Amino acid sequence: MIAPAVVQQRSLADTNSLDASKHDLVDKLNAASTVVIAVFTCGMFVCIWMQITASKSTERAWIIVSPLEVAPPIGFVPSANAGNIETHLVGVNQQNVFSCAIKNTGNTPAQLLKLAIAYRAVNSISEILSPPEYREKNDLNGLLLVKGDSVGFETVLEPSPILTKTEWDAVHAQRLILYAFGAVNYKDVYGKAHETRFGYLYFVPQGGDRTPEGFNREKMPRAYNSAT
């Protein structure tokens, strides 16, 4: 026969064991709840951060650079004793100038910092360096461009702003390639720095090519046109 004291001790032990099991279950539930809350909080933080980043990307300034004149006449000096044969051609005695517009297509202002721009001639597209090499950039002194605003810049052809008639003929036969390129550095309203690179080749279609004559960026190496 089991003594009453032993029964009481066993009952107390069973009660303590049950209480301990309940306490462990509560601790596990609390721990699980803490993990769920932490995961939810992290998820909310990530969602909010992504929304802020997307909003900034949507609202930030975006700078593009485009030619003011897509197909300007190619300027040249007539040959000696050419008479009316050459002097009636469009572009006679005109300098070759690349004029472009720097435009803010974003929703918030941009602060222009630096600009590099050049207009050059080479004998073939393969001579156009890739990646591009920019000369020292000019300081734009934080010029402010609001949404939709633009400012113009220009540069003359190097090494000579005006071609000979022989060079004029070579351009129209695509034996002499004219191209303009550059880069603009700017900041958006969030203080983040950006760079827009631009490059345009003056293309003259040959044979049955339907590409329009004029400055064409698709003909340039890919590294000349990019934006951050």
- Find the domain containing 40 and state its range: 1-57
User: What is the SS3 assignment for 19?
Assistant: helix
Q: What's the total number of domains in the chain? A: 2
Phi, psi of 16 (to 5 degrees): -65, -40
Domain boundary pick from 33, 57, 81? 57
Query: 96 and 130 share a domain?
Result: yes
- Give 92's strand partners: 76
pLDDT at 49: 45
Alpha-carbon span 164 to 98, nearest angstrom: 18
Residue 82: per-residue pLDDT: 77
Instruction: Select the highest-mean-pLDDT range: 3-7, 84-88, 162-166.
Output: 162-166
Q: Are 41 and 89 members of one domain?
A: no
Same domain, yes or no: 89 and 195: yes
- Do 209 and 104 belong to one domain? yes
Residues 118 and 207 in one domain: yes
Q: Do 20 and 96 belong to one domain?
A: no
Asked if 70 and 181 sit in the same domain, the reply is: yes
Q: Give residue-wise pLDDT tens across range 87-134.
A: 889 999 999 999 999 999 999 999 999 999 999 999 999 999 999 999
Residue 91, CA distances (Å) to 34, 159, 168 in order = 77, 18, 10
Note the pTM of the prediction, 2 decimals: 0.76
Statement to judge: residues 96 and 119 lie in one domain: yes
Q: What number is the average pLDDT over the span 212-218?
A: 96
Closest CA to 113 of 152, 150, 139: 139
Kindly state whether residues 114 and 222 are assigned to the same domain: yes
38 plus 76 within the same structural domain: no
Q: What is the pLDDT of residue 46?
A: 54
